[in-house]
Amino acid sequence: MDYREPKLLPGDLAIWLFIFMELLVFGLFFIVYAVMRIQNIEMFNHYQLTLNRELGAANTLLLITSSYFVVRAVHAIRVDNVKKCIYWIYAALATGAGFLILKSVEYSDTFAAGINLSTNMFYMFYLSLTLFHFLHVILGMLILFAVAIKAQRGAYSAQNHTGVETGASYWHMVDLVWIILFPLVYIIR
């Protein structure tokens, strides 16, 4: 594979392969969830009501906003505005942190109610899916943070900003997964 060809996808091709694999993992997870939900529809519907939809919706907004900030960061670097780029990445990191805080509040309520992976199949899927996504948010933030630090050192410019696009692509993936996860687990009846 020649990595130096004119690109169809922004960022490094490797991150897209990685994103594809990640989506495969989540996709498999979602399919299994959907199948199990159909087989145990009443139980799933019943326990779905115990989830905190308001916090879930707020988190969805936070991630979408955060994705927007990342888009602004990429735009900024494309016109050679390093300062703005860094500023938007930190804004995205802040909203990402907001997601983590709200999700932790939700978890602490859940765990305080004595719920764990073994409680029932619904909670098993809810907890493992969201925890797995939670870890991805942390990973995505680490990647963005690394991009921000490199940007501060002057590594990116209008000509060379593959790194910013790479980090942004991964962050959009994290957002996308939540946008599927939220309705699937919190809303659909």
Partner 1 sequence: MKYESQGIAKMYFIAALGLFLGQIIFGIIMGMQYVVGDFLFPEIPFNVARMVHTNLLIIWLLFGFMGSAYYLVPEEAERELFSPILAKVMFWVFLGASVLTILGYLLVPYARLAEITMNDLLPTMGREFLEQPTITKIGIVIVALAFVYNIGMTILAGRKTVINVVLLTGIIGLAVFFLFAFYNPHNIVLDKYFWWFVIHLWVEGVWELIMASLLAYVLIKVTGVDREVIEKWLYIIVAMALISGLIGTGHHFFWIGTPDYWQWLGSIFSALEPIPFFMMTLFAFSVVNQRRRDHPNKAAVLWALGTAVMAFLGAGVWGFMHTLAPINYYTHGTQITAAHGHMAFYGAYVMVVLTMISYSMPIMRGKKAANETAQKLEIWAFWLMTLSMVGLTLILTAAGVMQVFLQRFSEDPLPFMVVQDELKNFYWAREITGIGFLSGLFLYLYSFFAKGKEVEFEEEQLD
Can residue 125 be called a binding residue for partner 1 (CB under 8 A)?
A: yes
CB of 27 to partner 1, least distance (A): 11
Q: With contacts defined by CB under 8 A, how many residues of the chain interact with partner 1? A: 20
Stretch 51-90 residues interacting with partner 1 (CB under 8 A): none
Exposure string for 91-106, b = 16+ CB within 10 A, e = fewer: bbbebbebbeebbeeb
| Cα-based distances in Å from 18 to 55, 69, 74, 158, 185 | 29, 22, 20, 25, 25
Q: Token pair 């073994």 is at which residue?
A: 118
In the shown chain, the binding pattern of residues 131 to 160 toward partner 1, with x for contact by CB under 8 A and - for none, equals -x----------------------------
**CB nearer to partner 1: pick between 3 and 42:** 3
Q: Are 103 and 130 in contact (CB under 8 A)?
A: yes
- Judged by the rule CB under 8 A, the positions of this chain that interact with partner 1 are 1, 3, 12-14, 17-18, 21-22, 24-25, 28-29, 32, 117-118, 124-125, 128, 132
